Structure 1
Amino acid sequence: MTSLDRELLMVRREVRARRTSPVAWLPVAVVAAGLIALLLVFANEYGYAPDELYFRLLGKRGLAWGYVDQPPLLPMVVRAATAVFGDSVWGIRVPAMLCAAAVTMLGAVMAAELGGTRRAQTLTAFAVGTSALVLNFGHYIVTNSLDTVAWAAVLVCVLRALLREQGVWWCWAGLVVGVALYAKYIVLLLVAALLLGLVLAGPRKVFADRWLYAGAGLGLVIGSPNLIYQATHDFPQLHMAQALGSTDGTAYRAMFVTNLVLLLGPLLFVLCMIGLVQLFRVPEWKPVRALGIGYVVAAAASYLVDGGRPDYTGGLLIALLAVGCVVADRWVGVRTLRLVTLVLALVLGAALQVVLSLPVIPRSEFHKFQRAGRSLQDVGWQQLAAQAEAAYRALPDADRADAVLLTQNFAEAGALDRYGHGLPAIYSGHNGLYEWGAPPDSAGVVVAIGVDPARLAADFGSCRTVDTVDNRLGIDNPEQGRPIIVCRDREKPWAALWPGYRHLSAYP
C-alpha cells in the first residue's frame, strides 16, 4: 500500500466516523438511572424466582468450571452479589439491575453509531429500558441478564468495525464473545448469524481483514477452558438444549410471534420491524445490513433448533430497535405534533409494560389476577420450606437422625436451603443437582417434596403423604398442591436407584 493509498483510507475512515454521532451520555444516563430506580422499587416484591434459588444454591456450593445446564459465570455472579449486598431477594438482583442499565445505554450507543441525534439516542434508551425484554431480565437475575449485555456489546463493536472501518473493533468483539461463553453458549449463534449476514450482504472485504481473525482467535482463547469442559463432559449443553426443545419447544414455537410482540410491546415491535426494513433501504446503513440478515437467521435458528424463544435473540432486537428509533426521530423532524404523538405512545406503552412485567400487584391481591406469568412462581417458597421442615420435625428422633430431603426440582431444593432451619442434607435429580450425588445408604428415611408418588412407591416399601404444599395465598402456581411424602424401607442401594431420579428440564 502506497502512502497515497493510506491517506485515502484515512480520509474515508474519517468521513465514515463523521456519519456517527457523539453519544448523548447525560440524557442516556438519566434514563438508565431512572430504570434502576424503578427496578429497585419492586426488587423485593413477592420472592425469589425458581431460577434464582437454583443459581444461589450453585453459587453457595462453590466455584465450578461448568454445569450440565449452563456455564459457570452466573452462579459466580450471584455468589458475589449475596456476599456484597446480602443474602436477600433484593441483594441477588442488583447485578440484574446493572445489566438492564447497561443494555439501555448500549442501545443508545448503537443509535449514535447509526447517526442518531441526541433525541434519537434518548428515545432509544427509553424504548429499550421500558421493553418487557429488559424489564424482565432487569427484575430477575437470569442467564439472559448477562447474555443480552454481551450481545449488545458485541453489536456495538460490530457497528464500529463496519461503519468506521476500524478493524481493531473485531478484537473487542472477540474479547466480549470469549467472556460471554462463560454466561451462555448461545452467543455463538450471534457470531454464526453475523458471519452469514456478512457473506450474503457484505461488506465481504472484512474477510480479508486480519483484525477479524485476530478477534476470532482472541475469543477462542478466552472461551477455550469452557469449551474444553464441554468436550470432556460429553457436551452436556447439547443434551440440555435437546431436553428443552422436546419439552417446551412446541408451545414456544406456536406462540413465537405473539411472544415476540409481548416481549417488546406493540409499538416497539413495529419500530423493530421498521428498523429491519430500513436497514436495507437507507444507503448509509449498507455496511451493516448484515445485522438484518443476522436477526432473521438467528430467529429462524432459535425457532427451529432451540425451542422458539424470541428473547434468545434479544440483543439483535435491541439493535433493530435502535435503527427504528433513529428512523422515527428522522420522521419526526421539527414537527411538534409528531414528537408529542411518538412520546405519548412510548410513555403509554411503557406503563403497560411495567404493569405486565413487574410485581406491581400487592401480594394480598395477587390471587385475583391468576394470569399466566413468571410472577406466579415467585410466591410460597417460605411456606414450602416451613411445611417440609414441619414434616421433618414430626419424625421420631431415631428417624430424624437417618433422614434426608429429596426434591423434585432445583427450586424446591433452593428454597429449603434458603429458608430451612436445621434440616438434613438436601438432594435432587434435577439438572446440575444430580451431579452432586445420591444420598448415602445410611439414609433410611426420605422426606420427599413434590416427587412423583409412583416413583417413590416403586423404590420404597412404605410411603405416606403427610402434607401438601399450600402457599396460603390461593395462588395456583406449579408448587401448589404438590405432595410431601415420608418414605421408608428402601428397596435397593441408592447407587442403583439414583439414575431414575435424573431429569433435565427447565422449571417446573
Structure 2
Amino acid sequence: MWGALTIYVVVQLARRLGGGPWAQALAGVCYLSTAYGRVNLLFQPNAFEIFSFTLATYLLVRHAQPAGRPRHLYALGIVLGLGVLNKYTTFFFGAAVVGALLLTAPRTFGRRPVWLAAGLALLVASPTLLWQVAHGLPFRHHMALLHDQQLVNVTPGNFWKEQVLMNLPALLVWVPGLWAALRGRPAHEARAAGLLYVGGMLILNVLHGKAYYGLGYYPALFAVGAVWWQARLAARPRLRVALRVALLVLPLALLAPLLVVIYPILQPTQMVQLNQKPFYKKLALNRWEDGQLHPLPQDFADMQGWHELADKVWLAYRALPDSTRARTLIKCDDYGQAGAINYYNRGRNMPAATSFNGSYLHWFPAPPPRPWRHLLLVGEGHPSELVPYFEHLEKVGEITNPYARERGETIYLGTGPSPALLARVQAERQQELAAWEGGLN
C-alpha cells in the first residue's frame, strides 16, 4: 500500500514540474525497477518512511511553486510528525528540510506558517516524544547499541556502493535529476529535492547510517530526472521516439537479472548457488550488518527457521503436564525469536513468548501468584550456568535449518526454577530497564 502511494506521489511530482504522460511513466518505472519493491514486501517501517519522505519532498516543492500556500507547510508538518511516530530517522530528514528551506527560502522562517507547521509536527509526534521523556530517553541507548553493534561496520565506500546498486536501473534518470535539481531545473522549486538529497546524505555519512536509510531521498529525483529528460528530448525530434522507448525499457531490462535476488522467487538452495556466480558475487547483496558475506541476504536468512522454532516451542509446551502447563514462562534471547514464536503459534493455546530485548522488555509479564513451574529458554547462551537453579534442565530442540541466520539456537526446558533464579530474572529485567531508561527504574 505504501509503495503504491509512493508511486502516485512520484508521478504527481513529475506532473507538477511540467512532466507529460511519458515523463510521469518514466518516473514510475524508475521506482518499480529499483530497490523499493524489495523494501515494500517486508513488514518493516521503511516502506512508510520512504512514502513520508517522498510526500514531504513533494509538499516542499509545492510550497516553493508560485501557487504554493501555507497549507502545504502545514501538511508537511503533519507528515513529518507521522514520520517520527514511524521511525526516528525522520529527525535526520527534518534537519535536511530545515537546511533546504534556509538555502531556498530563508524568509520563510520570519513568517508564522513555518512555525505553525513545526508545532503541528511536534503535536503529531508528541505521543512518542512524551513517552521518551517519561522513560529517560531510551532512544539514546538504542542509538548507542546501533553504533556499537551495527553502524560500526558501515564504511563510506560500502554506503555509496549500495546507493548505486539499490538504484542502478534508474541511474540514467536520478543522476541527471540530482544535477538538474541543484541547478534549479526544470524549475527553480526543484532545488528543494536536490538540497534535501545532499543534506540528508551528508548527515547519514557523518552518522554512519545504513545504506537503506537513504532510500527515501531518491523517488523525488526520479520525477525531476524524468522531466529533465523530457526537456532534453524535445530538442531532438529525430531521436525522441527511440530514446523515449529506450529510457522506459532500460530500467526494466537492468532489473531483470536482479529479480531473483530482490524478490523471494528462488528456494534458499538456489539462491545460495546463484550468489556463487561471479556477477552476483561482485554485487555483494548478501553482505550482512557484520560486514561479512554470507550464503543468503540478511533479511531472507532472518526469516529462515521461524516456522521450525515456533513448532518446536509449541511441541515442547504441549509435552508439559496439564496441571502445570499454564505456569510456563517462554523467554527468548531476542525480539525476533519471540515475534516468530507468537506469530506462527497464533490460535494455539499457549502463553506469549517474551524477552528482555527491544520493546518486549516493557511487556514482560509480572510474577504470577504461584511461581513459574517451567521455563522454556530460547537462545540461552550459557545453559550450563543455570543447571544448579533448576530441578531439571534439558535441551529439547534447536534451529537446524542450514540457511537460518540463527541456526543452532537452542530451546531448553527448565523445570522447578529456584526462587533465587526467579528473583534473578526480575533483577536482570530491572537492570535492562535502567540501561534503556537512564536509571529511572
Alpha-carbon deviations, 1:47-84, whole Å to 9, x = none? xxxxxxxxxxxxxxxxxxxxxxxxxxxxxxxxxxxxxx
Equivalent in the alignment of 1:409: 334
Alpha-carbon deviations, 1:328-353, whole Å to 9, x = none? 33333342332233223112123244
SS at match of 1:153: helix
Kept after mapping to 1: 8 A contact 2:186/2:224: no
Q: How does 1:495-506 map to 2 (within 5 A)?
A: 495-499=426-430
Residue 367 of structure 1 and its aligned partner are, at CA, apart by 5.7
Quick one: which of 363, 368, 372 aligns to 1:443? 372
AA in 1 matched with 2:210: R
Alpha-carbon distance in 2 for matches of 1:191, 1:500: 34
AA in 2 matched with 1:298: G
Equivalent in the alignment of 2:242: 337
Q: How does 1:347-366 map to 2 (within 5 A)?
A: 347-362=252-267, 365=270
Equivalent in the alignment of 2:287: none
AA in 2 matched with 1:176: V
Quick one: which of 434, 453, 472 aligns to 2:361? 434
Note closer, same or farther for the CA distance 1:216–1:282 as it changes in structure 2 (3 Å cut). closer
Quick one: which of 191, 211, 214 aligns to 1:310? 211
AA in 1 matched with 2:331: L
AA in 1 matched with 2:233: V
Runs of at least 5 residues in structure 2 that lack an aligned partner in the other structure: 275-294, 437-441
Residue 368 of structure 1 and its aligned partner are, at CA, apart by 4.3
Kept after mapping to 2: 8 A contact 1:130/1:354: no
Note closer, same or farther for the CA distance 1:361–1:397 as it changes in structure 2 (3 Å cut). same
Kept after mapping to 2: 8 A contact 1:167/1:212: no
SS at match of 2:397: strand
Equivalent in the alignment of 1:197: 100
Residue 193 of structure 1 and its aligned partner are, at CA, apart by 0.8
Quick one: which of 102, 108, 113 aligns to 2:16? 113
Residue 147 of structure 1 and its aligned partner are, at CA, apart by 1.6
Note closer, same or farther for the CA distance 1:270–1:384 as it changes in structure 2 (3 Å cut). same
* 1:377 has 2:302 as partner: yes
SS at match of 2:43: coil
Note closer, same or farther for the CA distance 1:427–1:314 as it changes in structure 2 (3 Å cut). same
Note closer, same or farther for the CA distance 1:282–1:311 as it changes in structure 2 (3 Å cut). same
Alpha-carbon deviations, 1:409-449, whole Å to 9, x = none? 22221222223333334221110001112562711321111
AA in 1 matched with 2:249: L
Alpha-carbon distance in 2 for matches of 1:449, 1:146: 32
Q: How does 1:145-164 map to 2 (within 5 A)?
A: 145-164=47-66
Alpha-carbon distance in 2 for matches of 1:164, 1:187: 27
AA in 2 matched with 1:413: A
Residue 166 of structure 1 and its aligned partner are, at CA, apart by 1.7
Q: When the two structures are superposed, what TM-score results if normalisation uses the length of structure 1?
A: 0.72
Kept after mapping to 2: 8 A contact 1:459/1:497: no
Residue 501 of structure 1 and its aligned partner are, at CA, apart by 6.9
The number of residue pairs the alignment matches comes to: 400
AA in 2 matched with 1:407: C
SS at match of 2:128: helix
Kept after mapping to 2: 8 A contact 1:267/1:346: yes
Note closer, same or farther for the CA distance 1:263–1:354 as it changes in structure 2 (3 Å cut). same
SS at match of 2:394: strand
Kept after mapping to 1: 8 A contact 2:331/2:378: yes
Note closer, same or farther for the CA distance 1:497–1:180 as it changes in structure 2 (3 Å cut). closer
Equivalent in the alignment of 2:397: 467
Q: When the two structures are superposed, what TM-score results if normalisation uses the length of structure 2?
A: 0.82
CA RMSD of aligned residues (A): 2.7
Note closer, same or farther for the CA distance 1:440–1:293 as it changes in structure 2 (3 Å cut). same
Quick one: which of 332, 346, 353 aligns to 2:251? 346
Residue 160 of structure 1 and its aligned partner are, at CA, apart by 0.7
AA in 2 matched with 1:111: A
Note closer, same or farther for the CA distance 1:246–1:363 as it changes in structure 2 (3 Å cut). closer
SS at match of 1:498: helix
Quick one: which of 413, 424, 434 aligns to 1:486? 413
Quick one: which of 393, 398, 405 aligns to 2:318? 393
Equivalent in the alignment of 1:78: none
AA in 2 matched with 1:326: V
Alpha-carbon deviations, 1:207-243, whole Å to 9, x = none? 3443222322222233323322222121222321222
Kept after mapping to 2: 8 A contact 1:384/1:470: no
